[in-house]
Amino acid sequence: MSPSQTTPVLGLNKGLLILDTSANAAGAPRNRERVLVVGGGVTGLTTSWILLDAGYDVTIVSEQWAPATPRITSQIAGALWEYPPAVCGQHTDAGSLALSKGWSLTSYRIFDQLSKSLPAIKMRTANFFFGKPIEDLPDQLSKMREIEASCVQGFVRDPDLIAKHAVNQNAGVVDAYSHLAPVIDTDAYMVWLHDLVEAKGAELVTRRIDGDLLDSEAKLLEAYGAIAIVNATGLNSFAAAGDKSCYPLRGGLIRLVNDGKRFPKVTEALAVTHDNELSSEHEDIVFIVPRNDNILILGGIAQPHKWELNFTMESPEIQRMRERCNKFVPGLENAEFDPVAPVVQGLRPTRVGNVRVGRELRPNRVHGGSSSIVHSYGQGGSGFSFSIGCAVDVLRLIDQVVLEKRTGNFNVEIYRANL
């Protein structure tokens, strides 16, 4: 499957924001057909928004909705838009990486428009620092040049950014660039997204669906009167898609009060990546992002195959992360912790083959024909960055499912990609 070339256009209809994708290349007769979306995180809700605006009726089934206690994964996310590969996640599949670049730029354009009216999204300067000249880092050099040539605004490559942000001289960084990037207040945005799809007529059902969706496909389609199913269950796709390549990338964030009283208020994002494959032993990431007007988040933990959510302020990983950030920007050591949630943690939904946006390849287990399930999962730490772009491609695949069912014509091309 090639990346979608259709970028939604943001508009208004009866006072509600709409994402108009206009083109229906498959020619599917939508006619208010119902789609069942399984998963209530940012991927599921954004996909539902796109489907609703395209003319589908939507039922969303999720075990939890934002705001939740403890927070769902989408509320915990760092949610700094990044052009892939992101600071806290490396792609291992070239095809997925190529697709994700298109998804991220589609999302960038819409987030930029949303930021003009939605307080939960702010366009902030994001600064990226490197321990070598970028010319000595081939992958980073390629990424930088693609950003510079894209729709991303405000690109500046300047080693003087290190001094501008008073980065500790002992931090070991020698090069830097910056650009404008959407930063999402995930708590506020997820509530807004939930309310938006509900206002557009989505039916929200609170329940847990266990097991492989393929096993219960026929019953689910009948029970909800749906013509197709979207799997947006994230890490639960280990079971829901029978995908044993799914695994968690555990992360944790420290939340600080960012009011300028105990240290100079941070208004721009600061990030340092590393240039090796992620492992539990790599802890050189620095991730400092103003979440909203009063909260600063510190990050830099990416631990694969760790399922336990047991971080505390005393955890060695949390303490080392705090020390890295303190050393990077002197003054942070004086910060006050967020009294509501000083530490948050979650499991990024990751996959060996990276992101999967595609049709279910296994035949329907009732009648043996093609399945009506479309998958969107494995976005790792880039769920927000990819959300709108992935949703556009899911819409196109749903259109193909509908057309196939209405005409009886099976299109083998849709089965040649398994991302």
Binding residues for D-dopa: 348, 381
Q: Which residues pair with 80 in a beta bridge?
A: 183
Annotated binding site: 73-74, 233, 348, 381
In single-letter form, the type of residue at position 419 comes to L
Q: Are 307 and 301 in contact (CB under 8 A)?
A: no
C-alpha 344/C-alpha 42 separation (Å) is: 18
End-to-end CA distance of the chain: 8
C-alpha 80/C-alpha 287 separation (Å) is: 10
Cis link prior to 70 (omega < 30° from 0)?
yes
Strand pairing category for 16-20 and 9-13: antiparallel
Query: How far apart, in Å, are the Cα atoms of 94 and each of 85, 99, 174, 387?
Result: 11, 9, 29, 19
| Torsional sign, CA 27, 60, 379, 192 | positive
Q: Tokens representing 182?
A: 């959407």
User: DSSP character for 21?
Assistant: -
User: Mind giving me the DSSP string for 240-268?
Assistant: HT--TTEEEEEEEEEEEE-SSSSSPPP-S
C-alpha 95/C-alpha 92 separation (Å) is: 9
3-state helix, strand, coil in the chain (%, to 5): 35, 25, 45
E strand intervals along 24-93: 34-38, 57-62
Strand pairing category for 228-231 and 203-206: unpaired
Annotated binding site for FAD: 73-74, 233
Q: Which residues pair with 156 in a beta bridge?
A: 178
